[in-house]
Protein backbone atom coordinates (compact mmCIF):
# COMPACT_ATOMS: atom_id res chain seq x y z
CA UNK A 1 0.00 0.00 0.00
CA UNK A 2 1.52 3.28 -1.03
CA UNK A 3 1.14 6.73 0.54
CA UNK A 4 -1.60 7.78 -1.90
CA UNK A 5 -3.82 4.83 -0.95
CA UNK A 6 -3.29 5.48 2.75
CA UNK A 7 -4.19 9.15 2.29
CA UNK A 8 -7.35 8.26 0.34
CA UNK A 9 -8.30 5.73 3.01
CA UNK A 10 -7.86 8.38 5.73
CA UNK A 11 -9.95 10.93 3.81
CA UNK A 12 -12.75 8.39 3.37
CA UNK A 13 -12.49 7.60 7.09
CA UNK A 14 -12.67 11.28 8.03
CA UNK A 15 -15.71 11.93 5.86
CA UNK A 16 -17.46 8.77 7.08
CA UNK A 17 -16.67 9.61 10.71
CA UNK A 18 -17.97 13.14 10.22
CA UNK A 19 -21.19 11.82 8.69
CA UNK A 20 -21.62 9.36 11.56
CA UNK A 21 -21.06 12.05 14.19
CA UNK A 22 -23.48 14.33 12.33
CA UNK A 23 -26.14 11.60 12.56
CA UNK A 24 -25.44 10.24 16.08
CA UNK A 25 -23.67 13.29 17.54
CA UNK A 26 -20.39 14.47 19.03
CA UNK A 27 -16.74 14.05 18.27
CA UNK A 28 -13.59 15.73 17.09
CA UNK A 29 -11.11 15.20 14.29
CA UNK A 30 -9.40 12.20 15.90
CA UNK A 31 -12.74 10.59 16.72
CA UNK A 32 -13.94 11.16 13.15
CA UNK A 33 -10.86 9.43 11.80
CA UNK A 34 -10.99 6.49 14.21
CA UNK A 35 -14.70 5.83 13.89
CA UNK A 36 -14.52 6.23 10.12
CA UNK A 37 -11.61 3.83 9.69
CA UNK A 38 -13.05 1.21 12.04
CA UNK A 39 -16.47 1.84 10.53
CA UNK A 40 -15.11 1.08 7.06
CA UNK A 41 -14.23 -2.44 8.18
CA UNK A 42 -17.49 -2.93 10.07
CA UNK A 43 -19.57 -1.47 7.24
CA UNK A 44 -17.81 -3.61 4.66
CA UNK A 45 -18.46 -6.70 6.75
CA UNK A 46 -22.12 -5.82 7.29
CA UNK A 47 -22.75 -5.08 3.62
CA UNK A 48 -21.16 -8.35 2.52
CA UNK A 49 -22.86 -10.38 5.26
CA UNK A 50 -26.32 -9.04 4.43
CA UNK A 51 -25.79 -9.11 0.67
CA UNK A 52 -26.90 -5.50 0.26
CA UNK A 53 -25.70 -3.89 -2.95
CA UNK A 54 -25.02 -0.17 -2.54
CA UNK A 55 -24.73 1.47 -5.93
CA UNK A 56 -25.02 5.24 -5.88
CA UNK A 57 -23.30 5.76 -9.21
CA UNK A 58 -19.83 6.60 -7.89
CA UNK A 59 -17.34 4.21 -6.29
CA UNK A 60 -16.06 6.84 -3.84
CA UNK A 61 -19.56 7.71 -2.66
CA UNK A 62 -20.33 4.01 -2.24
CA UNK A 63 -17.23 3.56 -0.06
CA UNK A 64 -18.06 6.61 2.05
CA UNK A 65 -21.65 5.46 2.60
CA UNK A 66 -20.54 1.95 3.59
CA UNK A 67 -17.92 3.37 5.97
CA UNK A 68 -20.45 5.82 7.45
CA UNK A 69 -22.93 3.01 8.07
CA UNK A 70 -20.21 1.05 9.84
CA UNK A 71 -19.13 4.11 11.83
CA UNK A 72 -22.70 4.68 13.01
CA UNK A 73 -22.89 1.07 14.16
CA UNK A 74 -19.53 1.40 15.95
CA UNK A 75 -20.62 4.59 17.75
CA UNK A 76 -23.95 3.09 18.80
CA UNK A 77 -22.30 -0.08 20.11
CA UNK A 78 -19.72 1.99 22.00
CA UNK A 79 -22.52 4.00 23.63
CA UNK A 80 -24.33 0.84 24.69
CA UNK A 81 -21.16 -0.64 26.18
CA UNK A 82 -20.09 2.56 27.96
Tens digit of pLDDT for each residue in 10-25?
Answer: 888 889 888 888 888 8
Establish if 67 belongs to a structural domain.
yes
Q: Report the alpha-carbon distance of residue 29 to residue 76 in Å, rounded.
A: 18
Range of the domain at 18: 11-81
- The pLDDT score that the predictor gives to residue 42 is 92
Residue 1 predicted with pLDDT over 70: no
Q: Report the alpha-carbon distance of residue 12 to residue 59 in Å, rounded.
A: 11
**Rounded (5°) CA angle 68-35-47:** 40
- The pLDDT score that the predictor gives to residue 46 is 92
How many structural domains are present in the chain? Answer: 1
Give the model's confidence band at 50: pLDDT under 50 very low, under 70 low, under 90 confident, else very high.
Answer: very high
- For the entire predicted model, the pTM comes to 0.86
Average pLDDT on 42-58 reads: 91
Amino acid sequence: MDAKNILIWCVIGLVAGWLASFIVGGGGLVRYLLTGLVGAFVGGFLVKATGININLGNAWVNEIVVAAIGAIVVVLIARVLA
